[in-house]
Amino acid sequence: MPAPIEFYFDFSSPYGYLAAQRIDDLGAAHGREVDWRPFLLGVVFKTTGSEPLLDIPLKGDYARRDLARSARRFGIPFVLPEVFPFPSVPACRAAYWLKAHDPAAAPALMAALYRRAFGEGEDIRTAEAVAEVAAGLGHDRDEILAAMQDPQIKELLKDEVAAAIDKGIFGSPYIVVDSEPFWGFDRLPDIALWLELGGW
C-alpha cells in the first residue's frame, strides 16, 4: 500500500476549502488514501512574517476575485464568511480528537466543517458551532464539547502545529506526496502528474 497523501490545511483557508472538495477524488484516482491534517496558519505566520491573504493590499482584491473564479470553474459552492479570517482552534481540536478516537470518521467531520464555513458562509469559530456540525453527523455533542477542552487534545494540536512548522509548511493547502511538497490549490494538476509519473 503506497503512503497516504498528506493534506495540510487551515479551516480558515478558502483555498484549503477548494482543495478539500477535490483531494479525495484525486487520491482515489491514484489508489491513495488522504490523511487530512488541519493546522493553525496564524501560528505559522509568526515564523514567516506573513499576513492573512485577503488583508494584503492589491493581492487581497485579486484573491477575492480568484477564489470566486476558481470555485466557478470547478462548480464548487463558495461564499466568504462574514467574519474572515476566523479562529479555527475549536475545529482543529475536534478534528484531532476524532482522528484519535475514530479515524475513519474524521475526514467526514472536517469536510462538513469546511462546507459549513465556505459552502454556506456560516460560523464555525466557536466550540458550540463545531459541536453542532459534529452532532449533525451523529456524534455526541457533549463528548465533542468536552474533547475541545481536554488538555491532552490541546497538547496534541500544539504538537501537530509545531511538527508542521518543522516540516517547513508555510501555507494552506500544503500537500505532501512521498516527501514531495506542493503548495496551493492550483497545484492539484501537478500532484496528479506526480502521482502518475512517480516524479520527474
Residues that bind a second copy (CB under 8 A): 44, 47-51, 56-59, 61-62, 65-66, 69, 72-73, 165, 168-171, 181, 183-184, 186-187, 189-190, 193, 200
Please state, in angstroms and rounded to a whole number, the distance separating the CA atoms of residues 87 and 81. Answer: 12
Please state, in angstroms and rounded to a whole number, the distance separating the CA atoms of residues 143 and 172. Answer: 29
Query: 153: part of which helix (H) or strand (E)?
Result: helix 151-166
Q: Minimum CB separation from a second copy for residue 75, in Å?
A: 10
Please state, in angstroms and rounded to a whole number, the distance separating the CA atoms of residues 47 and 29. Answer: 35
Q: Minimum CB separation from a second copy for residue 57, in Å?
A: 5
Query: Which CB atom, from 1 or from 58, has the smaller least distance to a second copy?
Result: 58
Q: Minimum CB separation from a second copy for residue 60, in Å?
A: 9
Query: Which CB atom, from 140 or from 186, has the smaller least distance to a second copy?
Result: 186
Query: Which CB atom, from 63 or from 106, has the smaller least distance to a second copy?
Result: 63
Query: Which CB atom, from 121 or from 184, has the smaller least distance to a second copy?
Result: 184
Q: Tell me the torsion sign for CA atoms 22, 91, 89, 179.
A: negative
Q: Minimum CB separation from a second copy for residue 19, in Å?
A: 14
Query: Which CB atom, from 48 or from 152, has the smaller least distance to a second copy?
Result: 48
Query: Which CB atom, from 83 or from 163, has the smaller least distance to a second copy?
Result: 163
Please state, in angstroms and rounded to a whole number, the distance separating the CA atoms of residues 61 and 100. Answer: 39
Please state, in angstroms and rounded to a whole number, the distance separating the CA atoms of residues 103 and 114. Answer: 18
Q: Minimum CB separation from a second copy for residue 103, in Å?
A: 28
Q: Minimum CB separation from a second copy for residue 182, in Å?
A: 8
Neighbours of 58 (CB within 10 A): 7
Angle (deg, nearest 10), helices 41-48 and 151-166:
40
Please state, in angstroms and rounded to a whole number, the distance separating the CA atoms of residues 160 and 96. Answer: 9
